[in-house]
Chain A
């Protein structure tokens, strides 16, 4: 039997993500084969934790981190000794939350003499599209659209990333959440608006298309939110149960139009034939549909990960970690955490 060398054996990365609300861990092989992808808000973890986990509480990560990492290893059927490196988000995010994940990653790497890879949460979102397309080459446009971010990036052939646009106020996911809460639809707002909008007519209530023709690639969603709130203040009947689907469908269409049109325009301007869409809002069914339609109309190939990989997760952190490891980009134990760090 031929002896296997380092280059042709499988590389297992433990990914850890604690930049925001969820504590996440994943084991991924060769940056493409997800063996486990555990998120603390999942039901099974709730049961192990013994109750409902509050929406936001950074010190909660301390209570969850061991459970989530052990669960990720156990589902993957891997012992910690079989892991080749640990990849962890160290920016941007809540300092207290990031510290928990980075602390756990450093401890594991120190005690098991493993390479440590610190990654940028936003870059990891872009790489969520690499999980299913591991051999794709650089030279593309990326859109990250989530509760905290709405930004466009140029990714060159060497995978260097440059921002070409961002929201000047609210992120798209934030606009969904805030409108949902305002209308009493619950949190998170994205999925419920997505579902309600399906039974509504998106052309009945017209909303502005903010910054659609601004000439740059920035976004603005705060005015759209204000427009909806103002309208319901003037016309109380819009808040009636029967009108809500039309109201949110019109609102969703405005968000989707701005995101898709500006992204396609940016791809055309920079001559990119491929677009990576990622982040929680990329799970929105109307956005996916419109992106695929406009993509084929413009001969631009659109990549969107499955909904589960759009949300914050550690598989994307493991995937980016794998690619950085392959490029020899590991970090030492001096690495710190950063609340903000734009790509």
Chain B
């Protein structure tokens, strides 16, 4: 099952993050994929704002895992950009964060983890649209379970009617 949304600007990308945060709970896993500059970190910073985190969310590409504990829910922001293969994911402790259910786990470059993960997740793919303009992105949200089915139904109600829906 999937949902596509046209994002007009980075502000819109962050706003969709804020709105999605309202349907999330501890243990939810989001796998974010898409090119460099696609808006993954911008989306997570929106999510963080939705969770009322006071800190700015910066990219964890170098630090690999950033944990934010001061929001309504704990946010674990992971970036697999520099990691390859199951051994490296395990070495970095990614598996622990996925099974702990201590917070919302957002994983950038999450497509790398897809074939190793045995948990339910929501997949969000970010795409450039060079013909539409530098700020425009399309996101494709994919899921497989009835759990996410129910959640996305609520999400659809939260985003303004037909807002960017493709």
Residues of the A chain whose Cβ atoms lie less than 8 Å from the Cβ of B5 = none
- Contact size class for B? 20 to 34
Interface segment, A88-96, A248-256, A257-265, A317-325?
A88-96
**Chain B residues in contact with chain A, CB under 8 A?**
10, 35-37, 41-42, 45, 55-56, 58-59, 61-68, 81-83, 87-88, 91-93, 128, 130, 134
- Further contacts, 13 of them, CB under 8 A, given A94-B63, A181-B36, A339-B65: A56-B91, A59-B91, A92-B63, A96-B93, A166-B58, A169-B41, A170-B61, A222-B59, A227-B134, A230-B130, A230-B134, A340-B66, A340-B67
A222→B35 contact, CB < 8 A: no
C-alpha spacing A169/B77, complex, angstroms: 13
Q: Which of A56, A92, A167 contacts B92 (CB 8 A)?
A: A56
Residues of the A chain whose Cβ atoms lie less than 8 Å from the Cβ of B68 = 340
C-alpha spacing A170/B108, complex, angstroms: 13
Whether A173 is near chain B, meaning CB under 8 Å from some CB there, is yes
A148→B63 contact, CB < 8 A: yes
C-alpha spacing A45/B42, complex, angstroms: 39
Residues of the A chain whose Cβ atoms lie less than 8 Å from the Cβ of B91 = 56-60, 96
Q: Which of A92, A174, A218, A234 contacts B59 (CB 8 A)?
A: A174
Q: Which of A59, A95, A174, A233 contacts B130 (CB 8 A)?
A: A233
**Chain A residues in contact with chain B, CB under 8 A?**
20, 54-60, 92-96, 146-148, 166-171, 173-174, 177-178, 181-182, 187, 218, 222-223, 225-227, 229-230, 233-234, 339-340, 342
Task: Report the nearest A residue to B80, measured CB to CB.
Answer: A56
A229→B61 contact, CB < 8 A: no
* Interchain residue pairs A-B with the least CB separation, the first 9: A226-B37, A148-B62, A147-B62, A57-B91, A59-B91, A148-B63, A230-B134, A170-B59, A229-B37
Residues of the B chain whose Cβ atoms lie less than 8 Å from the Cβ of A147 = 61-62
24 contacts between A and B (CB under 8 A): A55-B82, A56-B83, A57-B87, A94-B65, A147-B62, A148-B63, A167-B58, A169-B42, A170-B59, A171-B58, A174-B61, A177-B62, A178-B81, A181-B36, A222-B37, A226-B37, A229-B35, A229-B36, A229-B37, A230-B128, A230-B134, A234-B130, A339-B65, A339-B66
C-alpha spacing A226/B45, complex, angstroms: 17
Q: Which of A55, A56, A170, A182 contacts B58 (CB 8 A)?
A: A170
C-alpha spacing A29/B83, complex, angstroms: 37
C-alpha spacing A96/B82, complex, angstroms: 16
A54→B88 contact, CB < 8 A: yes
C-alpha spacing A238/B98, complex, angstroms: 41
C-alpha spacing A58/B36, complex, angstroms: 25
C-alpha spacing A60/B134, complex, angstroms: 41
Residues of the B chain whose Cβ atoms lie less than 8 Å from the Cβ of A93 = 63
A230→B67 contact, CB < 8 A: no
C-alpha spacing A57/B85, complex, angstroms: 11
C-alpha spacing A222/B39, complex, angstroms: 9
A251 to chain B, nearest CB (A): 13
A273 to chain B, nearest CB (A): 29
B42 to chain A, nearest CB (A): 7
B152 to chain A, nearest CB (A): 27
C-alpha spacing A218/B45, complex, angstroms: 16
Q: Which of B58, B61, B63, B128 contacts A178 (CB 8 A)?
A: B61
C-alpha spacing A222/B130, complex, angstroms: 18
Looking at A168, A170, A226, which has the most chain B CB atoms within 10 Å of its CB? A226
A210 to chain B, nearest CB (A): 12
C-alpha spacing A60/B92, complex, angstroms: 10
C-alpha spacing A282/B83, complex, angstroms: 25
C-alpha spacing A226/B134, complex, angstroms: 8
C-alpha spacing A166/B57, complex, angstroms: 11
B59→A169 contact, CB < 8 A: yes
Report if A96-B66 is in contact (Cβ < 8 Å); known contacts: A169-B45, A226-B37, A233-B130: no
Q: Which of A95, A226, A229 contacts B93 (CB 8 A)?
A: A95
A171→B134 contact, CB < 8 A: no
A184 to chain B, nearest CB (A): 13
Residues of the B chain whose Cβ atoms lie less than 8 Å from the Cβ of A54 = 88
C-alpha spacing A56/B35, complex, angstroms: 21
Report if A94-B130 is in contact (Cβ < 8 Å); known contacts: A54-B88, A229-B36: no
Residues of the B chain whose Cβ atoms lie less than 8 Å from the Cβ of A95 = 65, 93
C-alpha spacing A177/B42, complex, angstroms: 19
A164 to chain B, nearest CB (A): 14
Task: Report the nearest B residue to A339, measured CB to CB.
Answer: B67
C-alpha spacing A121/B20, complex, angstroms: 34
C-alpha spacing A226/B40, complex, angstroms: 12
Task: Report the nearest B residue to A58, measured CB to CB.
Answer: B91
Residues of the B chain whose Cβ atoms lie less than 8 Å from the Cβ of A94 = 63-65, 92-93
Residues of the B chain whose Cβ atoms lie less than 8 Å from the Cβ of A59 = 91
